[in-house]
Structure 1
Amino acid sequence: MPANKRNISFATFNLYNLQLPDQPMYPKSRPYTQEQYDAKIGWIASMIKRLDADVIAFQELWDRQALETAFEAAGLSESYSFAYIMEGAWDGIAVAAAVRKPWEITGVKRHKAFPQGLRLKKRERTMKGLRADPPEADEDIVPDENDEFGPSHEDERIEVSINEFSRSPLQVTVTHGTAKSPSVPPIQVFCTHLKSKLSTPLDNEEYRNPAIRPHTNALGAALSAIRRTAEAAALRIILNDTMRDTDDPTIVLGDINDGQFSNVVSILSGQPTFRVIAASRSGGRSDVGLYTGVTLQQLRSLGDVYYTHEFKNVREVIDHALVSEQFYDHSEKRLWAFREMQFFNDHVAHASHAESDHGQVRIWFQWAPAG
């Protein structure tokens, strides 16, 4: 099979609440009129054609029919297959995926519950290397090698009880429909939409408390940040289980709601080492690391248009593509070489509901196995 037939491109597209006309969305939002819906479908169809991507991850979809109508309007409904979080209808916004032939969807898995390996708990230390609650008689005590000062002078106790994603990530297995050789392995695509930075509304009990109510925004923002961080850790564990000791190409696409250098992206990526000096050996291997697409592009170009969202006059990339070592130029296990990441963001500053308040991102790779 010719090498160019194995080239692949990915995109992420926040649909900004794509719902059918006259159907409910959020409690205080008005349903789309037919005219508004038609305008939104037309704009989305034009962007799908501009993206021209083999795999597209979508966020903020309310109904599959609306997405498939957009592909019909683009004249591309026969070219793509679709993956959703579940059969039938669902409540609220969700992620979805579209995959262009000859690439095929051969597996779909929704992740709603956090993995069993997630435990966000820290007990108080009262002695060097010991916990406040004494261990069982047959339980080994592991000293904290970093504790040089004996008893802790700060209370480090914390316990986060979140046990599921606010919006389910979707794992889609993508294979090449015409590839007869095992040289093109299945690709694991994770479509995701983590908790936003918007302040979480407090429950009535807290909101009515005169000591708490003045701090509603700060507390709500903290709740959102804690949930988003917990979701990043949960997805990282799922990625560890998917990637460790395998050579499966993996990519995370979607609205992560945090910037390139945020703690959330650091957790998701696993912070692999980039090679910035030609003679270096950095980046030769990273079994479970993910490389941020925007960093790959910045190392290639000094362009100043790298943003996908604007809030209070702050522009940053919060819609990401994170790729495994099979897509990293300097990896010993490279299968595809990075070529370009494009940002479609001219509409962001003044987006209407017909458009999107996010820029769209496209990243593409050329088939070029190492060695």
Structure 2
Amino acid sequence: MRLVADLEAGSMVANGLIVMTWNVENLFRPNSADTSAAETYSAKLSYLSGLIRGTGADVVALQEIGSPEAAEDLRAALGETWQAVLSARPDHRGIRVAVLARHPLTEEAQITALPPAGLPAVPDVDGQTLTQLGRGAVQVHVDCGDRGLRLVTAHLKSKLLTYPGGRRYPLNEDERARGAGYALLRRGAEAVALRVHLNDVLAASALDGQPGVPTILCGDLNDGPDAVTTVLLEGPADGDVHHPDKGDSVRLYNLGRRLPAARAYSRIYQGHGELIDHILATRDLQLRLISIDSLVDDITSIGASTRSREAAIVPDHAPVVARFAGS
């Protein structure tokens, strides 16, 4: 893979930092009696750990970790110095987000509720009221020198539609339209919950008069960079990153806007490249950004069916990797 060599060289920058976000697609430890699945799992762990090590990543935000055991298997494959923090709230399938780092790692928050300051009363397709994120987000502190790094990783509601009772097909076109609306409402409420959480965290850092902790929000947001659900996570708009203003304390910059044009996607769906895996960062990190890339060389196009993916070794999402200069 072309970018691995470039990023390995970048990892030698004194006091630099390399951050990756990656949806690793249903990483479940298989039943020990299923020999074929065990072989696939072993090969997938080797692929994931080899690519992560090859980039020289300091911290990796992961989505679609299937169990604590799977997270531990990947952590162990990376080596003894690596640490892991997992979300305590998986979805109904058992998948969750996690963070791995080769520096000391501290869990700071489990983000699970739709807060009162956000959108706390969103209807769902079964006529109930949502009060929780479908998949919890997690906030960690990475002790990687100086002030370290604050990182939040999330996996927002997908665009896959469900209908009352868990049905995967609509009874009529009115129900299809409602299903799409409910999915959008849920993803929007989850994005607002993250933004409200970050407003509190970032504003608190600004109030103490000390330099804020460099902060990243990343993960599978299931929308493109210009979708409302993604843009609202950036906070107040900025006219010029080189001129500080009153919005800097809570603003995030979507680093994906600086991806190389030919690689500005992280998944290929029905032949169309789409950027749904994002790294958003505070101003200090935006100014220190050396490069960002999506390592798309190995991924292939997928469709709506997941059955054909059961034996896949390479995930359906590409890892997005950002490299920063030292502070």
User: Shorter chain as normaliser: what TM range?
Assistant: 0.7 to 0.9
CA contact (8 A) 1:285 1:325 kept: no
Contact 2:161 2:168 in 1 (8 A): no
Q: Distance in 1 between matches of 2:187 and 2:236?
A: 18
Aligned-pair CA distance for 1:118: 1.8
What is the match of residue 285 of structure 2? 327
- Which residue is equivalent to 1:257? 222
Residues of 1 paired with 2:326 and 2:195: CA distance? 27
Deviation at 1:91, TM superposition (A): 6.1
Corresponding position of 2:292: 341
Distance 1:59 1:232, change over 3 A: same
> Where do 1:46-195 residues align within 5 Å?
46-73=50-77, 76-86=78-88, 92-101=94-103, 104-119=104-119, 161-176=129-144, 179=145, 184-195=146-157
| C-alpha deviation, 1:58, in angstroms | 0.4
SS at match of 1:15: strand
In the other structure, the counterpart of 1:236 is 195
Which residue is equivalent to 2:314? 355
Could you tell me the TM-score, scaled by structure 1's length?
A: 0.71
Corresponding position: 1:6 with 2:15: yes
SS of equivalent to 1:59: strand
Q: Tell me the equivalent position of 1:150.
A: none
Q: Which residue of 1 aligns with 2:186?
A: 227
**Does the CA-based 8 Å contact 1:71-1:77 persist in structure 2?**
yes
**1:9-34 superposed Cα distances (whole Å, 9 cap, x missing partner):** 110011100001128xxxxxx99722
Check 1:79–1:253 CA distance in 2 against 1; reply closer, same or farther (3 A cut).
same
The answer on whether the counterparts of 1:340 and 1:363 sit within 8 Å (CA) in structure 2 is: yes
Aligned equivalent of 1:314: 272
Deviations along 1:117-136, one digit per CA (max 9) or x if unpaired, are 124689xxxxxxxxxxxxxx
Contact 1:60/1:95, CA 8 A, preserved across alignment: yes
Please say if 1:196 is aligned against 2:158: yes
Q: 1:266 aligns with which of 215, 223, 231?
A: 231
Give structure 2 stretches of 5+ with no counterpart: 1-11, 123-127, 207-211, 303-308
Change (3 A) 1:312 1:366: same
Higher Rg: 1
Moved more, 344-353 or 57-66: 344-353
Change (3 A) 1:286 1:186: same
Q: Write the letter of the residue equivalent to 2:262.
A: D
In the alignment, what sits opposite 1:137?
none
Q: Distance in 2 between matches of 1:200 and 1:65?
A: 29
Q: Is the 8 A contact 2:105 2:143 kept in 1?
A: yes
Aligned-partner SS, 1:345? coil
Query: Cα offset for 1:348?
Result: 2.3
Greater alpha carbon shift after TM alignment, 31-40 vs 44-53: 31-40
SS at match of 1:112: strand
Residues 234, 45 of structure 1: CA spacing in aligned structure 2 closer, same or farther, 3 A cutoff? same
Q: Which residue identity lines up with residue 82 of structure 2 in the other structure?
A: Y
Task: Report percent identity of matched pairs.
Answer: 27
Q: 1:84 to 1:207 in 2, by over 3 A?
A: closer
Indicate if the aligned counterparts of 1:61 and 1:94 stay in contact, CA closer than 8 A. yes
Q: Which letter does structure 1 place at the counterpart of 2:43?
A: A
The one-character-per-residue Cα deviations of 1:319-340 (angstroms, maximum 9, x if unpaired) are 00000122132xxxxxxx1100
State TM-score, norm by structure 2: 0.80
Partner of 1:366: 325
* Structure 1, unaligned runs of 5 or more: 24-29, 123-159, 330-336
Instruction: State the distance in 2 between where 1:242 and 1:71 align.
Output: 28
How much does 1:237 deviate? 0.2
RMSD: 3.1
In 1, Cα distance between equivalents of 2:263 and 2:117: 39
Structure 1 residues 229 and 57, CA, compared in 2 at 3 Å: closer, same or farther? same
Higher helix share: 2
In structure 2, the partner of 1:45 is 49
Change (3 A) 1:204 1:282: closer
Given that 2:294 and 2:320 are in contact with CA atoms closer than 8 Å, whether structure 1 keeps it comes out as yes
8 Å CA contact 2:270–2:301 kept in 1: the answer is no
- Contact 1:272 1:290 (8 Å CA) reproduced: no
Give the match's secondary structure for 2:130: coil
